[in-house]
Structure 1
Amino acid sequence: MDILRARTERFKHGKALRHKTPRETHADLKGPVTRDAVAILAESDRDRVPELVPERYARMTQNAFAFLRGAAAVMATDLAGQSVAGIPVQAGGDSHVMNFGAFVTPEDNILFDVNDFDETLSGVDFTVDLKRLAASVAVAALGAGVSKKQARVLAAATVKAYRWHMAALAKMSPLEIWHSRIDLEQEIGLIGNGSLRRKLTAVVDKARGEGLSKDDNFPHLVSGDVPKIVDKPPTIFHLNAKADARHKLDTGRLFAAYRKGLAPDRQRLLDRFTLKDLAFKAVGVGSVGTFCCVGLFMTGDSEPLFLQVKQAQRSVLERLGGKLGYKGNQGRRVVEGQQMMQAASDIFLGFTQDEASGRQFYVRTLKNRRLGGVSELSEGKDLSDYAQLCGRTLARAHARSGDPAAITGYMGKSEVLDEAIASFAIAYANQTAVDYAALVKAKVPVKAPKPATANKKAKAA
């Protein structure tokens, strides 16, 4: 449908798509029992840092929700056989509830937004992200001891929040949509649950810069003549490139290529810092073992800047089939997707490549803005309000690249799609439990060996 047509025509087009794909068909879960989830996970092991593959599985075997977080490739494989509405967007690709969070914009506003774009891809049906989000809500709720009936209600409420916010966005002009945002401080005032309000208020305080030093996952400096990042294995450590050539990076060329891709004003800002140290940092669940490091940059007055350099591989959404794919630097794919979906992007966001290894990366300011473990948010109404906030946020992200009028026309005013995707979410939660049990039964190695760290005198950069 031509995006230049009037929104009333685009709305009718979306509504007409119901004849091709009835909304009720999204309740179905077709075919996941025919594939081997453990084998799909193992496919990417060979491309990961060997020392951290056991750590990846250790994190995934903690519970069913942790499994779901690390199994984006499994769910993408399953979603390839599901119904689609036929309305493409820039998809996040891994839109579970823990991939949303708070961050501070360059203008010092605190926004709530999608914050993980490793799997982002354009031209993907909007229902793909929506189904992963709803499924994650169901899995989180069941993991917290909620009944299946209530978990289904929570998943439906998430889809409803997406649908309602998309309908509101469909009435706006393209510029109004582009400039819309989810202001976290305003959202707190709209949340009825006191417990969640307090937790999100704490997030705001943290995003304002309080308490960063208390987080052991955040790199710290060692005072001395040569500032460096503290080793805290298995999360943060210095790799010994002499012990394994696969870990070696030409940092000079890597950051020179990154700098070249930045806008002139960002280049000038970056030039005020010098790279002092580089350490490996294990991140997330699904990303554990991909090559990810943190660069410590400092000014002449010892003012630090941490830049995360994270390996970008092909998006798991290519498993959906068709003509989906991205040709070029996968780091650039992540950067473009983030800029498309987020209300405000990191000023140091960029991409680069290590020519010797062929690894492709995206670069961003290392952030420490997170909402905590899902167990803290999955207690009764906490998860309900939080999941609905994620639903509204995903709608805003999709509306920037997709056609909100067509999406609204397809979804309609009734709860048909809400209920259908909620049914899918429960079915997928059941399948996730089966897949999680299969991974545990497989007894994959979960005790991480000692990382190949450099000696104290070795220079990491």
Structure 2
Amino acid sequence: MATRTTADSAPALPDFGSARPAVAERAERGRSWRSDTPVGAFADWTPSSDRPDPVALLREQDATRVAELVPIRYGRMSASPFAFYRGSAAVMAADLATLPRTGGTTQLCGDAHVANFGVYAAADRSLVFDINDFDETLPGPFEWDVLRLAASLVLAARDRGFEPKVARDAARAAARAYRMATARLARQRTLDVWYARVDEDRIMRTLDTADVGKRTRRTATATFDKARTKTSLRAAEKLTELVDGHVRFREAPPLISREPLRPLDREQYDAVFADYRSTLDDPLRLLLDRFERVDAARKVVGVGSVGTQAYVILLAGRDDDDPLVLQLKQAQPSVLEPHLGASAYDHAGQRVVNGQRYAQAASDILLGWATGPAGRHFYVRQLHDMKGSVDLARVRPRGLTALGELCGATLARAHARSGDAVAVSAYLGDDPDDVTFDKAIGRFARRYADQAEADAAQLDDAIRAGDVEAVTGV
């Protein structure tokens, strides 16, 4: 199998080219990885002696963010160790870089924690469950995503006050589900792998098999029902108001503000939107042209993303009761790039969009990218398209394990689209009774959760000492 890798660029995705390797050859390639990186190698992670200061790594990111919003980021991250973990992908990337690596290159999410999985609407308007955040996406070793997912499950369990056994079981369940799903995908036809997706029925069957109980099933059903209401119409109702006969975004500084856009003249605004439009296919340009831009505002989003430039754009179709709300979000180099090499895409927005299309079974039809003032890179998507996430504050112990299984299997399917499931499965082994990988991932997850808690405490100390400004409750 040919690869195209240079020292200063991220590893290339598997390229079968014209010399399509035999399945046996691909399997042997996967087994060969064990000589350098045994399946249990991830279990014994310890912080390196020259480990970078985690707060210093986070502060380095402040330089490219909106200064007045950065304290909100630290305020949100200080809420709990799990919240800290959500915002510290750069810290974990530096730690993962110290581990031995397999040759299992795939399109990584780059930030595959449990809160970055959820439901959204496919083009046929059915609800699917998938990864839903790709700001850090880049080709890399498959295990980096698995490790980040597993550690997040341990932290989520601790955040809820669950017993250590629950945290251990959830992390191991995610690893086992990834391993077994990869084995199934390795036996499937190529197009079947590409078309595979996790829909609402599949989720409910998984919950029934896990025997999670009626309360967890009700929580899942409520998540689906809530997601169906999160449309552009609902977003417009929630975020806009009528002023002097004109619909505009309702300001709620600093979270939603129209002020930062006023210096942006109409010519610049038109240029950014035209650049975005040029990245869409012709039929979608026609669709977009049926909408008129009405208003725009800056909107603070997420945890780790707070401080990056993010805007919402209100458009109207046939009338004001036919809204479309788009999100224009700044794309920066992936936090993985210092450790894996530069992206093959010169435009960070294109990196995000194509990474999402590689991994997701169904993607937003209006995904695109644009270059803004000062050469900043952005990507564009619908703000609400029946998006919903699991309310981790309501998940019960058995439900968290079932969620871990669902996320692990979903991650395997995402990786199989751009990676080589045959090779990865051969490396992991598909014997259900061989739990070497599962135990190694679980042990790493517990160790790394301990480290994340220590890092979160270090951020709290810096905030109390006045070295880091944090605004809470926003």
Instruction: Give me the TM-score of the superposition, normalised by structure 2.
Output: 0.89
Moved more, 434-443 or 222-231: 222-231
Q: Residue 188 of structure 2 aligns to a residue in which SS?
A: coil
Q: Residue 208 of structure 1 aligns to a residue in which SS?
A: helix
Is 1:429 the counterpart of 2:445? The answer is no
What's the C-alpha RMSD, in Å, of the aligned pairs? 2.3
Moved more, 145-154 or 344-353: 145-154
In 2, the alpha carbon distance for the partners of 1:126 and 1:447 equals: 36
* Deviation for aligned residue 1:72: 0.4
Aligned residue pairs, count: 444
Q: Which residue of 1 aligns with 2:125?
A: 108
* Deviation for aligned residue 1:211: 9.1
| Mapping for residues 168-207 of structure 1, pairs under 5 Å | 168-191=184-207, 192-193=211-212, 194-207=214-227
* Deviation for aligned residue 1:234: 3.2
Is 1:317 the counterpart of 2:336? The answer is yes
In 1, the alpha carbon distance for the partners of 2:362 and 2:76 equals: 31
Q: Which residue of 2 aligns with 1:60?
A: 77
Q: Which residue of 2 aligns with 1:83?
A: 100
Aligned residues of 2:236 and 2:323 also touching (Cα < 8 A): no
Is 1:277 the counterpart of 2:319? The answer is no
In 2, the alpha carbon distance for the partners of 1:10 and 1:53 equals: 46
What CA deviation, in whole Å up to 9, does each residue of 1:232-262 have, x standing for no partner? 33322223356xx699992110001111121
Rate the CA distance shift 1:449–1:134 in 2: closer, same or farther, 3 A. closer
Q: Residue 116 of structure 2 is aligned with which of 99, 102, 107?
A: 99
Q: Which residue of 2 aligns with 1:459?
A: none
Q: Residue 227 of structure 1 aligns to a residue in which SS?
A: strand
What CA deviation, in whole Å up to 9, does each residue of 1:162-198 have, x standing for no partner? 1111111111111110001011233213312132221
Rate the CA distance shift 1:27–1:318 in 2: closer, same or farther, 3 A. same
Is 1:353 the counterpart of 2:397? The answer is no
Rate the CA distance shift 1:407–1:364 in 2: closer, same or farther, 3 A. same
* Deviation for aligned residue 1:307: 0.5
Q: Which residue of 2 aligns with 1:446?
A: 470
Aligned residues of 2:333 and 2:348 also touching (Cα < 8 A): yes
Q: Residue 375 of structure 1 is aligned with which of 386, 393, 410?
A: 393
Unaligned runs of 5+ in 2: 3-15
Moved more, 18-27 or 62-71: 18-27
Is 1:410 the counterpart of 2:434? The answer is no
Rate the CA distance shift 1:212–1:373 in 2: closer, same or farther, 3 A. farther
Q: Residue 13 of structure 1 aligns to a residue in which SS?
A: helix
Aligned residues of 1:312 and 1:330 also touching (Cα < 8 A): yes
Q: Residue 333 of structure 2 aligns to a residue in which SS?
A: coil
- Letter matched to residue 346 of structure 1: D
What CA deviation, in whole Å up to 9, does each residue of 1:25-80 have, x standing for no partner? 11121435622000000001121111210100010000000000000000001111
Q: Which residue of 1 aligns with 2:280?
A: 262
Aligned residues of 1:257 and 1:353 also touching (Cα < 8 A): yes
Q: Residue 289 of structure 1 is aligned with which of 307, 319, 329?
A: 307
Q: Residue 43 of structure 1 aligns to a residue in which SS?
A: helix
What CA deviation, in whole Å up to 9, does each residue of 1:305-342 have, x standing for no partner? 00000000000011324x44344110000010011000
Is 1:220 the counterpart of 2:259? The answer is no
In 2, the alpha carbon distance for the partners of 1:205 and 1:177 equals: 28
What CA deviation, in whole Å up to 9, does each residue of 1:137-162 have, x standing for no partner? 11111221123343122211110011
Is 1:338 the counterpart of 2:356? The answer is yes
* Deviation for aligned residue 1:298: 0.7
In 2, the alpha carbon distance for the partners of 1:277 and 1:215 equals: 13
* Deviation for aligned residue 1:282: 0.9
Rate the CA distance shift 1:67–1:273 in 2: closer, same or farther, 3 A. same
Unaligned runs of 5+ in 1: 451-461
